[in-house]
């Protein structure tokens, strides 16, 4: 088991493996995205209270879920990199940031679009909305802090500490609808007594969540591969790889 773990943490080994599996995650996400969108936008019946405006949940909910999940992964990867000094872990954390920021931004935008017909306003300083906005700032702050250092090792340490400290915001986002009186809709899927959404509305949402996860994994592996090449540019295996690709291109 530990041999497999250390092999996976090896940049050249990870680069080879991720090159094989990354496209499959992306390929698998596309049909699921189409199925989930068709099920949510066409097959699901209108909500008895919100009408057709509820259909934005099929983009909003997976985006919001992934925004928190990606930040947690980024913080865990940063902690692993800081504690065990595994360079690949820092590469994973650095690769998570722009993807997580994109999901967070999408969650905020779709939430604002949903909020207008539901609450009568695009934005309210609601605990859930405010903490999600802070999450976006944490992602952006992480990326800005990394870019402020020319030395990669110092950038890894500084941004890693920020990622770990900022993880306290994730449970605040998740439990904000429980801890405070909020405009935001309460839990729908993971709640005592089962989901408060009918099956014909629920299955497309679950499909979309799985599709977003697969899409994220495909994007993550692709970005980490780029990070590995950038960090290991002067390593022998990278130079041999580049020479092989150049030779193949000439032939």
For residue range 199-235, list pLDDT tens digits in order: 899 999 999 999 999 999 999 999 999 999 999 988 8
What pLDDT shows up at residue 205?
A: 95
Q: How many domains does the chain have?
A: 1
- Counting other chains too, the contacts that 7-14 makes at CB distance below 8 Å and 24 or more residues apart are 9/86, 9/88, 9/89, 10/88, 11/87, 11/88, 11/91, 11/228, 11/231, 11/232, 11/235, 11/237, 12/232, 12/235, 12/237, 14/88, 14/224, 14/228
- Which residues is 47 bridged to in the sheet? 51
Output the six-digit token pair for 136. Answer: 């976006």
DSSP annotation of 190 reads: S
In this prediction, the residues of the chain whose per-residue pLDDT falls under 70 are 1-8, 180-181, 183-188, 190-194, 196, 246-251
Query: Is residue 5 in a domain?
Result: no
Query: Is residue 66 in a domain?
Result: yes
Query: Is residue 43 in a domain?
Result: yes
The Cα–Cα gap between 174 and 113 comes to: 21
Query: Is residue 149 in a domain?
Result: yes
CA dihedral sign, ordered 130, 131, 136, 139? positive
Output the six-digit token pair for 227. Answer: 């990070």
Q: Are 93 and 78 in contact (CB under 8 A)?
A: yes
The Cα–Cα gap between 219 and 227 comes to: 12
In degrees, rounded to 5, the angle at the alpha carbon of residue 200 between the alpha carbons of residues 195 and 206 is: 60
Instruction: Give residue for tokens 């969540």.
Output: 209
Query: Is residue 6 in a domain?
Result: no
Could you read off the pLDDT of 58-88 as tens digits, one per residue? Answer: 999 999 999 999 999 999 999 999 999 999 9
Instruction: Give residue for tokens 């690709």.
Output: 245
The Cα–Cα gap between 84 and 88 comes to: 11
Question: What domain range includes position 224?
Answer: 29-246
Query: Is residue 7 in a domain?
Result: no
Query: Is residue 19 in a domain?
Result: no
What pLDDT shows up at residue 198?
A: 87
Which pTM was predicted? Answer: 0.92
Nearest to 166 by CA among 244, 231, 100, 216: 100
Query: Is residue 251 in a domain?
Result: no
């Amino acid at each position: 088991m530990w041999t497999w773990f250390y092999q996976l943490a090896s940049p050249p080994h990870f680069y080879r493996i991720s090159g094989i599996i990354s496209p499959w995650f992306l390929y698998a996400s596309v049909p699921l995205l189409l199925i989930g969108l068709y099920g949510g936008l066409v097959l699901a019946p209108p909500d008895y209270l919100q009408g057709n405006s509820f259909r934005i949940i099929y983009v909003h909910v997976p985006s919001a879920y992934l925004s928190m999940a990606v930040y947690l992964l980024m913080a865990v990867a940063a902690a692993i990199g800081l504690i065990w000094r595994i360079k690949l872990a820092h590469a994973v954390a650095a690769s998570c940031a722009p993807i997580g920021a994109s999901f967070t931004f999408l969650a905020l935008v779709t939430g604002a679009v949903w909020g207008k017909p539901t609450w009568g306003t695009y934005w309210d300083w609601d605990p859930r909305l405010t903490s999600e906005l802070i999450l976006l700032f944490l992602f952006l702050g992480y990326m800005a802090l990394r870019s402020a250092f020319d030395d990669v090792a110092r950038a890894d340490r500084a941004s890693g500490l920020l990622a770990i400290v900022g993880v306290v915001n994730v449970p605040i986002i998740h439990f904000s609808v429980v801890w405070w009186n909020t405009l935001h809709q309460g839990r729908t899927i993971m709640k005592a007594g089962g989901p408060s959404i009918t099956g014909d509305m629920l299955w497309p949402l679950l499909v979309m969540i799985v599709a977003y996860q697969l899409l994220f994994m495909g994007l993550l592996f692709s970005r980490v591969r780029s990070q590995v090449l950038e960090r290991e540019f002067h390593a022998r295996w990278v130079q041999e790889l580049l020479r092989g690709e150049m030779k193949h291109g000439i032939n």
